[in-house]
Structure 1
Amino acid sequence: MKLYTIGFTKKDARTFFGLLIKNNVKTVIDIRLNNHSQLAGFTKGKDLEYFLEAIAGIKYHYFIQAAPEESLLKNWQDKKITWSEYETAYKAMLVKRNILDRVDLKILDDGCLLCSEPTPDQCHRRLLAEYFKETIPDLEIRHI
């Protein structure tokens, strides 16, 4: 079972959709807190859902329950907490929200977690993917 992750920042539409197609992604799982901002460009919620289907036959699933709490994200962005503190708080939030009970694990197979960060290093999509791997040991995570 493969689970991909991708960030749209610093990617143009050709690169973004090309990576999804090249990796045979079946469902994009949007885990952004705000998927309708003007900064989202071609990845704005309803537009992205349309583009994914029209360009590549990929399904779209908005999974806001996996987005970080606004205060947690702001504290990290404002450097009020360290990345390590963010990781700990985000993982605790996943447990508190019973994330594993709120997701159909079938969509993870050839699914792709979407967020805005250009790399997974300091992004909640990596943390979420690793959280899923704790429950699904044969899950292979690929950051594209």
Structure 2
Amino acid sequence: MKRENNAVPVASIGFTGKTAEEFFDLLKNAQVRTVLDIRLSNTSQLAGFAKKQDLPFFLDKLCGAVYREMPELAPEPDLFKRYKANELTWDEFSAAYVELIARRRVESNLDVDLFRSACLLCSEHLPHHCHRRLALEYLNSRWNSRLKITHLS
């Protein structure tokens, strides 16, 4: 019972396949206070309403949330490029990504409280084949299952 009281609620979301209304309603309804952007490319036209330069404004006005970039949880460009070009399977990408964040020692360099009422943001619609799920699972395994993870869809 005590472990549940100490649980740190954290979510993940992808913007692809969602309207701006759906995206911001999901964040607001989940009471997200901080959006942690773990994307490699957050300024491209493909980011639409979730562009780095616009997102802090929308989050503040629509959700009362703040924006923070978190590049330490982004994959390296070459790794992501190889996966998107089908040079790596999902399992190979996953293993390489987890190895990367382990080398970065993210569990030691990030404070678990930063994740409280936060939401990891990426572009993938669903978390199944997205590094945001891998990052949260990795951190949870290192932080003794302190994260209570919800994937917003």
TM-score by length of 2: 0.91
Q: How many residues align?
A: 144
Residue 27 of structure 1 is matched in structure 2 by: 34
Say which of 92, 95, 99 aligns to 2:102.
Answer: 95
1:20-72, Cα deviation, whole Å (9 max, x unpaired): 00010110000000110011011000200111011111011100121101111
- Name whichever of 87-96 and 99-108 sits farther off: 99-108
Residues in 1 aligned to 2:111 and 2:56: alpha-carbon distance in whole angstroms: 19
1:97 partner amino acid: R
**Is 1:7 matched with 2:14?**
yes
Which structure 2 residues correspond to residues 1-144 of structure 1 after superposition, within 5 A?
Answer: 1-136=8-143, 137-144=145-152
Q: Give the equivalent residue in structure 1 for 2:3.
A: none
Any idea what SS the aligned residue of 2:113 has? helix
Misfit runs of 4+, over 4 Å: none
Structure 1 residue 132: Cα displacement: 1.2
Question: Unpaired runs of 5+ in structure 2?
Answer: 1-7
Q: Normalization by structure 1: what TM-score?
A: 0.96
Distance between the aligned counterparts of 1:25 and 1:107, measured in 2?
12
Q: CA RMSD, aligned part only?
A: 0.9
Distance, in Å, in 2 between the alignment partners of 1:19 and 1:135 is 28
Q: Which amino acid aligns with 2:146?
A: D
Q: Distance in 1 between matches of 2:97 and 2:39?
A: 13
Shift of 1:9: 0.2
